[in-house]
Amino acid sequence: MENDFPAAALARQFPLLVARPELAYLDSAATSQLHESVIERIVRFYREDNATVHRSSCPMGSEATVAYAAARKFVAQYVNAADATEIVFVRSTTEAINLVANSWGRTILRPGDEVLLTAMEHHSNILPWQDIAKRQGAGLRLCAITAAGEIDRDDFLQKLTERTKMVAIGHVSNVLGTVNPLDELIPQARRVGAAIFVDGAQRVASGPIDVQRLGCDFYALSGHKAFAPMGIGVLYGRCPWLKTLPPYQLGGGMVDRVSMDCSTFREPPEKWEAGTPNVAGALALRSALEFLRSIDWKSYDHHCASIRSRMDDAVRSLPGVRILGSPEKKTAIFSFVSDRVHAHDLATALSTKGICVRAGHHCAQPLHAAYGVPASCRASFSLYNAEEDCDRLIDGIRWALDYF
Ligand code: PMP
């Protein structure tokens, strides 16, 4: 398959990959490497601009406040939110899910209500819902997936009832790479009046995001999955929710008036950002999204398809090895198992050859249970991985199988 995506040229924009040319870094679903513009932004902030926002009266303080607001506006435009006040800076996708599960759940969920998840969710998109459902006397339902690793649409429709108050669903599976058909599922969830939370942790580095077109109520992402640092993430929330739901955390920066018997809170987004925020992280995330804005996603889709056909063909020739799932629409994430060699042994052997993959359940135990395996080995390709990385992986697996 012909493909002219400039993966090798992009790799040269990532200092870690330049510093370690011996590596085939295939673990971007765990954390991606930082783009050079991101590192430069962080260094510049701490060397020249360090100040907190909304508080400091020194020149850097007002500059940081302006830059922080501009970063928020940039994120809003990037995900096509209707307004920058719908963008809350959080620590990560995990924090965003906990925020919504707690604040929304406490306010809306009642005994007999249900939250609908899917069997391919990351633990971060299961545990907060499980906890709040239990506390509110509500039920938790899990939509099945097919052997191909797609959402079982019949099961989804069957479990979606007027009791369903929330559908929380991943945009892209961190194990299978499945791109879920949100254009189809969200309108169905809307029809029963459910709110929709989308876990976009694995989407942000693999395709564009348009929250208004999706029609979701909430959307979460993590900077470190998209070439920005750890410790910064985004929660998009539709304006009526962010205005009316109670704050998740309380503290400085989010209050309007405080007295000892009653306090009032600021309007969104400040209402949702108690304490000193990660200013450098927000600015760095903006730099990462500026880089992502330059990506030709159509061309990247072809690149992923090319890697996929190379992987599929090669794995077919490896005895006893299979890739979990074969969804129609997927990114370049491949989780595979050998019927002879344990995933951890395989990953350890590959790492001796400089091939970085991850082994384990990848925080998706219900998904692994659905496939009847406790663990898998995951190779996750990103924008900076070329076909050669795929060939190295395959040669590495072949070598490891012979070795054990
Ligand atoms: N959801 C998915 C699909 C993920 O892949 C991850 C990270 N592996 C998370 C949620 C949690 O992201 P974070 O650890 O950045 O909060």
Residue that finishes a domain, picked among 293, 321, 336: 293
* 164 C-beta closer than 6 A to ligand 1: no
Q: What is the CATH number of the domain that holds 109?
A: 3.40.640.10
Q: Give the pLDDT confidence of 218-265 residue by residue, as tens digits.
A: 999 999 999 999 999 999 999 999 999 999 999 999 999 999 999 999
* 28 Cβ inside 6 Å of ligand 1: no
The CA distance from 126 to 107, in Å, is 19
Q: Residue 125's pLDDT is what?
A: 98
Verify whether ligand 1 is closer than 6 Å to residue 124 (CB atom). yes
When pLDDT is averaged across residues 389-398 and rounded to a whole number, the result is 97
Asked whether residue 315 falls in the same domain as residue 289, the answer is no
Span from the CA of 122 to the centroid of ligand 1 (angstroms)? 7
Q: Which residue owns the Cα nearest ligand 1 atom 4?
A: 201
Note whether 276 and 164 are same-domain residues.
Answer: yes
253, amino acid identity:
G
> Measured from the CA of 230, which atom of ligand 1 is nearest?
15
Residues β-bridged to residue 258: 263
Could you tell me the CATH number of the domain that includes residue 395? 3.90.1150.10
The per-residue DSSP string of 249-272 comes to S-STTSEEEE-SS-EEEPPTTGGG
In the predicted model, what is the mean pLDDT of the chain? 97
**152 falls within a domain:** yes
Report, as an integer, the average pLDDT of 75-86. Answer: 98
Q: What was the pLDDT predicted at 364? A: 96
Within this chain, do residues 281 and 351 fall inside the same structural domain, yes or no?
A: no
Mutational pocket test of ligand 1: of 120, 225, 232, the residue with most ligand atoms within 8 Å of the beta carbon: 225
pLDDT digits (tens, 9 = 90+) for 133-161: 999 999 999 999 999 999 999 999 999 99
Going by pLDDT thresholds of 50, 70 and 90, the confidence category of residue 310 is very high
- Mean pLDDT over residues 377-401, rounded? 97
Pocket of ligand 1, candidates 182, 363, 382: which has the most ligand atoms within 8 Å of its Cβ, to mutate? Answer: 363
The token pair that represents 91 in the structure block: 């620590």
Residues 241 and 332 in one domain: no
Q: Which of 98, 117, 118, 122 to mutate to test the pocket of ligand 1 (most atoms within 8 A of CB)?
A: 122
Q: Do 300 and 289 belong together in one domain? A: no
Report whether pLDDT(393) > 80: yes
Q: Which residues contact 135 (CB under 8 A, 6 or more apart)?
A: 105
In a domain, 34, yes or no: no
- Which residue range is the domain that position 349 belongs to? 7-26+296-403
Q: What is the dihedral of CA 350, 355, 357, 359, to 10 degrees?
A: 10
The pLDDT of residue 54 is above 90? no
Is residue 35 in some structural domain? no
Write out the DSSP string of 126-169.
Answer: THHHHHHHHHHT-EEEEE-B-TTSSB-HHHHHHH--TTEEEEEE
Whether 136 and 263 map to the same domain: the answer is yes
Residues 243 and 160 in one domain: yes
Nearest to 111 by CA among 133, 79, 143: 133
Q: Which atom of ligand 1 is nearest to the CA of 96?
A: 16
Give the distance between the most distant pair of CA atoms in the chain: 71
22 plus 58 within the same structural domain: no
Q: How far apart are CA 219 and CA 199, in angstroms?
A: 6
Sign of CA dihedral 311, 313, 318, 319: positive
Stretch 4-16: mean pLDDT, rounded? 97
Ligand 1 atom index nearest CA of 95: 16
Q: What is the pLDDT of residues 357-371, one digit of tens each?
A: 999 999 999 999 999
Q: Does residue 357 fall inside a structural domain?
A: yes
Q: Same structural domain for residues 202 and 344?
A: no
How does DSSP assign 166-202, residue by residue? EEEEESB-TTT-BB--HHHHHHHHHHTT-EEEEE-TT
The answer to whether the CB of 376 is under 6 A from ligand 1 is no
Residue type at 359 in one-letter notation: A
Query: Do residue 22 and residue 79 come from a single domain?
Result: no
Q: Measuring CA to CA, which residue among 398, 375, 333 is closest to residue 30? A: 333
Residue 3: pLDDT band by 50, 70, 90 thresholds? confident
Mean pLDDT score, 66-83: 98
Does residue 122 have a pLDDT over 80? Answer: yes
- Using a 6 Å cutoff on CB, does residue 118 contact ligand 1? no
Among 293, 322, 340, where does a domain finish? 293
Indicate if ligand 1 lies below 6 Å from the C-beta of 98. Answer: no
pTM value is 0.98
Region 158-184 average pLDDT: 98
- d(C-alpha 11, C-alpha 18), whole Å: 7
Amino acid at position 151, single letter: I
Assigned domain for 351 exists: yes
CA–centroid distance, 225 to ligand 1, in Å, is: 8
- The predicted structure's pLDDT at residue 376: 98
| Helix ranges, 275-386 (H) | 279-293, 297-316, 343-352, 365-371
Banded pLDDT at 303 (limits 50, 70, 90): very high
Contact 88, 235 (CB under 8 A): yes
Q: Is 377 a catalytic residue?
A: no
109-118 tens-digit pLDDT: 999 999 999 9
Whole-number Å distance, alpha carbon 129 to ligand 1 midpoint, is: 15
The CA 95 to ligand 1 mean position distance, Å, reads 10
**pLDDT value at 315 more than 90:** yes
Q: How confident is the model at residue 208 (pLDDT cuts 50, 70, 90)?
A: very high
Q: Pick the atom of ligand 1 nearest to 199's CA.
A: 1
State which of 275, 293, 311 marks the end of a domain.
293
Statement: residue 284 has pLDDT above 90? yes
Q: Are residues 259 and 341 in the same domain?
A: no
Does ligand 1 have an atom closer than 6 angstroms to the CB of 92?
A: yes
If one counts the domains in the chain, the total is: 2
Q: Is the pLDDT of residue 1 over 60?
A: no
2 occurs within a structural domain: no
Q: Decide if 160 is inside a domain.
A: yes
Q: Give a yes or no: residue 111 inside a domain.
A: yes
**Residue 2 predicted with pLDDT over 70:** no
My answer on whether 279 and 375 are in the same domain is no
Question: In this predicted structure, which of 9-13, 51-55, 319-323, 366-370 has the lowest mean pLDDT?
Answer: 51-55
